[in-house]
Amino acid sequence: MKSCKKTFRSVALIFAALAMVFVFPAVAAQTRAAQPAPATKALGQPEWEATVKEARKEGRVVIYGAGIGATANHLKKAFRDRFDIDLEFLQGRGNDIIQKVLTERRAGIYSVDIGNGGVTTWFTVIAPANIALPMEPLIMLDEVKDRTKWRLGRIPFMDKEKQVVNVASIRYPYICINTTLVKPNEINSFNDLLDPKWKGKMVISDPSISGTGNNWFAYMMIRLYGREKGAEYMKKLALNQPTLLRDERLQVEWVARGRYPILIAGKPTEVESFISLGAPLKWVLVKEAAPLSSGSFNFNAYKNAPHPHAQKVFVNWLLGKEAGEIIAKTSGYPSERSDVSHAGFDPAVVPKPTDTLEDEDYLAQKAGMPKLAGEIFREILQ
């Protein structure tokens, strides 16, 4: 009898062991399947959450830079809604703003976290001043690091040190017209601007200072015509007595109101702002090759930032899809992110995967262009 009980207990133990091997894992698997899967987290998510928490304590990000029009207000609202952190923009002409930054820093004042502006200002003023941080160490989120999410197959840093990044660019035709005053196909080439019928009927963003006007002048002189033929072209254009103006908004307003039918080298963000309000403005895509322009959508992070955690949060958000969509919808510049729609853009102004921006060699040639423009247009400028 005792032998039978012992045998029974042995058999029971065997079945219990088998249950542990086959039954319990199945039950455990069913239990796990019934539970919701944990949310996919970006690489470094705990650090990201901690950074956001500290950034909220700092409360704001201060941005000094060249104007980006109404886009700044849209970015402010979205960033505030997302993180409960304020964006404070000080906008103006790029070179004037960076001189303010340099003046503050010489006085030991560190009030700015982020800068934005054109590539010329970056390479000729900011980079030599050694006041910017490498941006790559600030990037924490997977959606930013993912190479497939960018037009160029990489984060579009503009320099070898990865201190400045471009977030939006456009194939820039440079000529904008008032469609009530200029007939379709009346202007198809830069050479059409030399026609005497346009004498006194054009406004140009002043090419003798940094900005879109000088970008256009340099493109014509360096890439399109070459120095000698470019100078000939500009002298002929000067005979048509264009009005040179520095106020970027007033340039567009004068053409929108019909004071002038043609605008050369107007700032795309200002043009887009007027178009969104119903102004009869349109870009002319001339037969000559269009250059690629990033306008003022090149951003850097400053050393000794007063709000370092908020600075880092802004950099990651700026390079993400949400900010990319806002910029594309409000600025007239297609986003550099490949996952942001180009809906609403003329395909001719959307950069191709092979298009690249100005490089340092081009910018070296461009250095003397403001002075040359001043010499050619001296009589008009006076």
Q: What's the pLDDT score for residue 44?
A: 52
Q: Which of the four pLDDT bands, split at 50, 70 and 90, describes residue 330? A: very high
User: In the sheet where 202-205 sits, what is the strand order?
Assistant: 243-245, 202-205, 262-264, 175-178, 281-284
Q: What's the pLDDT score for residue 382?
A: 63
Asked if residue 282 lies in contact with residue 256, where contact means CB atoms within 8 angstroms, the answer is no
Residue 265: closest CA among 236, 239, 287, 242: 242
Averaged pLDDT, 260-273: 91
pLDDT tens digits, residue range 198-208? 999 999 999 99
pLDDT tens digits, residue range 48-102? 999 999 999 999 999 999 989 889 999 999 999 999 999 999 998 888 899 999 9
Query: What span, in angstroms and rounded, lies between the C-alpha atoms of 155 and 135?
Result: 11
Question: The whole model's pTM is what?
Answer: 0.71
Query: What span, in angstroms and rounded, lies between the C-alpha atoms of 209 and 273?
Result: 23
Asked if residue 205 lies in contact with residue 246, where contact means CB atoms within 8 angstroms, the answer is yes
Superfamily of 45-169+295-351 according to CATH: Periplasmic binding protein-like II (3.40.190.10)
Query: What span, in angstroms and rounded, lies between the C-alpha atoms of 34 and 37?
Result: 9
Domains 45-169+295-351 and 173-290+365-381 fall in the same CATH topology: yes
Number of other CB atoms surrounding residue 254 within 10 Å: 17
- Contacting residues for 146 by C-beta, under 8 A, at least 6 apart: none
Which residue matches tokens 């605008």? 263
Averaged pLDDT, 284-312: 92
Asked if residue 138 lies in contact with residue 311, where contact means CB atoms within 8 angstroms, the answer is yes
Residue 195 has pLDDT above 80, yes or no: yes
Retrieve residue 92's tokens: 């103006």
pLDDT tens digits, residue range 95-136? 889 999 999 999 999 999 999 998 888 888 999 999 999 999
Number of other CB atoms surrounding residue 154 within 10 Å: 8
Beta bridge partners of 283: 176
Query: What span, in angstroms and rounded, lies between the C-alpha atoms of 257 and 220?
Result: 28
- Contacting residues for 117 by C-beta, under 8 A, at least 6 apart: 65, 66, 94, 97, 98, 126, 296, 298
Query: What span, in angstroms and rounded, lies between the C-alpha atoms of 345 and 329?
Result: 9
Query: Does 349 or 233 have the greater pLDDT score?
Result: 233
Domain ranges for the chain? 45-169+295-351, 173-290+365-381
Task: State the sign of the Cα–Cα–Cα–Cα dihedral 141, 147, 152, 154.
Answer: positive
Which CATH number, 3.40.50.11540, 3.90.1150.10, 3.40.190.10, 1.20.58.2050, labels domain 173-290+365-381?
3.40.190.10
> What's the Rg (C-alpha) of the chain?
29
**Percent of the chain residues topping a pLDDT of 90:** 65
